Structure 1
Amino acid sequence: MAVRRPDEVTLRRRSRLPVWAQLGWRVGLVLGLLGLTLAVHWFERDGLKDTADGHVSFVDVIYFTMISITTTGYGDIVPVTNEARMFDALVVTPIRLFFVLIFIGTAYMFVLRRTWERWRMEKLRKELCDHVIVAGFGTSGSEAVDELIARGTRPDEIVVVDATADSLERAASLGCFTAEADATRDKSLQAVRIDQARAVIVSAGRDDTSILITLTARHLAPNIPISIVVRNEDNELLARQAGATTVINPVSFAGLLLAGSTEGAHLSDYIADLASSSGMVQLAERVVTDEECGKPLSALARGLGVRVYRDGKPYGFWEPEAGALQPGDCIVEILPTARAEAAD
């Protein structure tokens, strides 16, 4: 039995067919071909000759069929008519070769596949670039992956790192790459090429583990955007000090929605709409274009500008700094989703 070394991280992606289905269709095909050959030999048994007793029984037909398909025969039962000989030459011989290929393919699936998959995934790992790493695939991590895919990120651009195999099964079923590893370790994140990733999402389920993962990720990739989920408000500052670009507290966010709902029945709906790709509007962040420089934030061609980030400082749409956009400004705008544009 192969034992995975502690420092070994194997990248995986779920096969299109489960193992039982791959084995099942092979067994079914073998039985079908055997049944076809057996039926023809039985109905055309007059074209066979048994050199032992001169009588071809059903047992003789089974024996002759199995021997003909798996070997070249022993000569004790032979085809004597032209029809029987042509059937063995043109049908049984190709079936015999096909059986060999099926047996080799089955041996590959159960014996050689693991070695092949490891080599193939290692090759894919080396080609990973501009991907999103999701460290932790609990409730928040899985929701983040679902939302990424809904927003247009291809599943093969997402790598899920988790220490629990069961947690990775759903990620693999979505088409994501998965790595069963400890994301707090340098070698685990290096194995999924964090230096080539475009973003990291950290949702380990425990604030201390998430902060440690953030420290490791920031150490390995000083400039990568890191989003982290923390559940204790006291840990938000620690998460930022660890290097998190964005800190999200689902408990605080839920409180904001609840408080907002007391001021109006539709406020929480709109906020949730902004946060999800399934609504009519969505928030987007981008750098201003050359054509937009010098224009006010309110003059955006497509979206509704709500905030400008200049030199790391935020400015609202009502502030004087938003009256003239400058090169390098980062703007946050509200855009209609594809669903809303399709409705129009």
Structure 2
Amino acid sequence: VALALEVASIDHISEANMEYTMTVFLHQSWRDSRLSYNHTNETLGLDSRFVDKLWLPDTFIVNAKSAWFHDVTVENKLIRLQPDGVILYSIRITSTVACDMDLAKYPMDEQECMLDLESYGYSSEDIVYYWSESQEHIHGLDKLQLAQFTITSYRFTTELMNFKSAGQFPRLSLHFQLRRNRGVYIIQSYMPSVLLVAMSWVSFWISQAAVPARVSLGTGPRRCSEGAGRAALGSRTPHPLAGGSALASGPCQLSWGNGHPGQARHHHGADDDHAHGQCPLLPAAGVSHQGTGRLLLDLLCLRVCRPGGVRLCAFQRRL
């Protein structure tokens, strides 16, 4: 049995479920000498209702999670019979196929997915599968335009699968390489993180006496970066993932946590004064959640410390 594939589309690639959805035209051809004729040299087109009266190879997609035939407006099946008894059988299939992905380098990753075709009941002693030599094995894959990936290369293989209880079964496989389009991640995640870190370090050029300004520049970019990171990456990738994006954002978080010694000193000074009951608490600002009264952001408070003069101390409190 000679096989050929025409890829119509790759509709969806899911990293969370490790799968992709593909629509293909599967062309199969074989010779049945019982159907040969010599009264004409024309190829006959048969109605799809004749399918039930013919012998058909039991080809199936090994790594498919689900699949279905198309029947709008009629069943998408084609049968051609040649004078020498060669039958061409073509069907249109949409299938959701499993694809094991390594997301350690996300979003700078490349994935290899496969489409495996095999006989379900006939062993290699009963049937032989091979890629068609009369036409291109794979057609249409190099013309696809995907939103998040680029197909860089593809190849096809033929092998025998050994099963102890059933014997050897022929399998044809299509392998295609997917490279993730990185531009959107650089614009939405990496560049904002770099700019926000640079903004937070401006506080080193501000006088230590201007505590509110230093606190705002130190903590504001961090909150913005966390929110932007969740918005840019949270909907695209599984939550347990710690890949290339985490390696990029980790140094940013460390620079915010350890890069403001002046603010840390004022923070501890405020706690000491509060322990001796010397400084009254003056709330500065807060953001409530749609009238519920619950503060979502850290509340920045100022203390006026009168012994020895007036100075401002800043600390953070979460309500």
Higher relative contact order (CA closer than 8 Å, sequence separation 6+): 2
Which is richer in strand? 2
Q: TM-score, normalised by structure 1?
A: 0.26
Q: TM-score, normalised by structure 2?
A: 0.27
Which is richer in helix? 1
